[in-house]
Each structure stands twice: as structure tokens, then as C-alpha cells.
């Protein structure tokens, strides 16, 4: 895998598109029951800080880690504008223990990162070490069970056929990435001393939208997001989601 860096500018350019708005909002709703004012949160791969800033606005004590100084600067600017306090640290998953001084957190998030790592099991281990007793780890993966859905719904039949048995793909940023299936995820979590307690689908109904598609008007968007949240928590719809959002806890 080439990592995320080559796609960083394209990511920035598309922050307000429908696909990203849906992903961020649905994940935010799925995280909301886990935290409250005073909860400590570590967001690894926080990027421009969409989730970190939302959690800070909810009263959480947030630490964001990312290897990109440009994305961290964007997060810092947004925090200043919103009068929010977020600790921002430059670095990657492998150095997160040193960056955080060995601290543990009530919620450890890592979204949109593991799909770019060839050797992702050690990364999950680093994250597991940072969760406090009674806390949660929140991870997202590209859903390997539904890799054929997007090309199929777009009428790319050759792409759909190739995706059925694939474990890698090229994403909307033009980057090679890895797809994961739930048995592999469960095995790696167990190896890191984590036990899954819930999983959700992210972007079930709108994943075939073009990367350039903007959000609809506010009333329509509100209904769309409610539908996406419901689909992401409901069998069998959530199996068709673009991404899998897994919540896990330390397994004693």
C-alpha cells in the first residue's frame, strides 16, 4: 500500500461532498452514546479533525494524532474558530504510546486509517494499549463483504465481478487500499486483547453516489442521514455498507 499521503489534497477538496458528510455524521451518531462531558478521547489519524472537534464540542477532553502537519493545522484552525480545546500531536500509530506519554483514554478512535496498512494487526495492538479499563476502541474498515456493491450499482459489471474475491481495491481518492471481512477483524481484535461489542455499517444507501456529489438541501439531508443511521444498525442492510464500524472493549 502507498498510504494516504498521495491522496491528501483530493481528500481536502472533497470534505464537503455527500459521501464524506454521510460517513462523518453516521460515525458521530454511533459514537455519541459512548462519551460525555469529561470523557477522555484519543483520535488517531484525526486528519482535519471532524470527529475530534465534534467530541470536543460535546465536552470531551480530546487528543488528536496525525502524521500530516497540514491536516493538523486545519484542525487547529477550526478549533480556534470554534473556541474548542484539542491537544494535537504529530505522528503515526506506531509511535502513539510515546506521543501520549503512556496515557490511556475512555475512547480510542481510528477511522479511515487501517485500510492503508499492509501490516495492520500491530496497529490495532498499539491502539488497544491506549484504551482505559471500561473504555472503548472505535475502528473503521472497508467492508470486504460488499466490495462489489459500488461498482455494481454504478453499472461497472467487470469491476463488480473482480471485486467479489478481492481483498484490495482502488478507492475514490485513487489510492490502493485493503478491504477487511469480519472474521479477520475479529481474529485481529482478539489477538490485541479486544472483544467486539457492536458493529455498524457506514454509508449503506448512498455509497454509489459520485465522489463530486454535494449534499442535498437541509431537510432532505436530515431524512437521508436518519435513513443511513437506521440502515447501518439494521440487518441485513448493514452488511452492504461501504465501511464497517467496530466498537470493542478490552477483554479481561
Per residue in 197-223, pLDDT tens? 999 999 999 999 999 999 999 999 999
Arithmetic mean of pLDDT, 108-122: 95
Using the predicted structure, report yes or no on whether residue 123 has a pLDDT greater than 80. Answer: yes
CB neighbour list of residue 80: distance below 8 Å, 6 or more residues apart: none
Residue 7 pLDDT exceeds 90: no
- Start-end of H helices in the chain: 8-13, 18-31, 50-57, 69-81, 96-99, 121-128, 149-153, 157-163, 182-191, 218-232
DSSP one-letter code for 84: -
Report pLDDT for 235. 97
Residue 64 has pLDDT above 90, yes or no: yes
Rounded distance, CA 223 to CA 228, Å? 9
CA dist 155 and 59 (Å) reads: 45
Rounded distance, CA 147 to CA 95, Å?
31
Q: State residue 98's pLDDT score.
A: 96
pTM reported for the whole predicted model: 0.94
The answer on pLDDT for 93 being more than 70 is: yes
Domains of the chain: 5-142+168-247 (3.40.50.150)
The answer on pLDDT for 105 being more than 90 is yes
Report pLDDT for 2: 55
Amino acid at each position: 500500500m502507498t498510504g494516504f499521503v498521495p491522496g491528501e489534497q483530493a481528500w481536502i477538496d472533497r470534505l464537503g461532498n455527500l459521501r464524506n458528510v454521510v460517513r462523518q455524521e453516521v460515525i458521530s451518531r454511533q459514537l455519541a452514546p459512548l462519551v460525555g462531558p469529561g470523557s477522555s478521547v484519543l483520535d488517531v489519524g484525526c486528519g482535519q479533525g471532524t470527529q475530534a472537534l465534534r467530541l470536543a464540542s460535546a465536552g470531551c477532553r480530546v487528543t488528536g494524532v496525525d502524521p500530516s502537519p497540514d491536516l493538523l493545522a486545519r484542525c487547529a484552525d477550526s478549533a480556534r474558530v470554534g473556541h474548542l480545546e484539542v491537544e494535537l500531536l504529530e505522528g503515526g500509530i506506531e509511535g502513539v504510546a510515546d506521543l501520549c506519554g503512556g496515557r490511556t483514554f475512555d475512547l480510542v478512535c481510528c477511522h479511515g486509517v487501517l485500510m492503508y496498512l499492509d501490516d495492520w494487526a500491530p496497529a490495532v495492538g498499539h491502539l488497544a494499549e491506549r484504551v482505559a479499563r471500561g473504555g472503548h476502541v472505535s475502528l473503521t474498515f472497508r467492508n470486504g463483504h460488499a466490495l462489489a456493491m459500488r461498482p455494481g450499482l454504478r453499472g461497472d459489471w467487470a469491476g463488480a465481478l473482480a471485486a467479489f474475491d478481492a481483498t484490495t481495491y482502488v478507492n475514490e481518492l485513487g489510492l490502493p487500499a485493503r478491504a477487511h471481512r469480519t472474521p479477520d477483524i475479529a481474529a485481529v481484535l482478539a489477538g490485541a486483547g479486544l472483544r467486539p461489542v457492536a458493529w455498524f455499517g457506514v454509508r449503506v444507501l448512498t455509497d454509489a453516489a459520485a465522489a463530486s456529489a454535494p449534499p442535498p438541501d437541509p431537510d432532505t439531508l436530515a431524512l437521508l442521514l436518519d435513513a443511513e443511521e437506521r440502515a447501518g444498525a439494521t440487518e441485513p442492510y448493514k452488511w452492504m455498507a461501504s465501511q464497517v464500524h467496530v466498537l470493542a472493549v478490552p477483554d479481561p
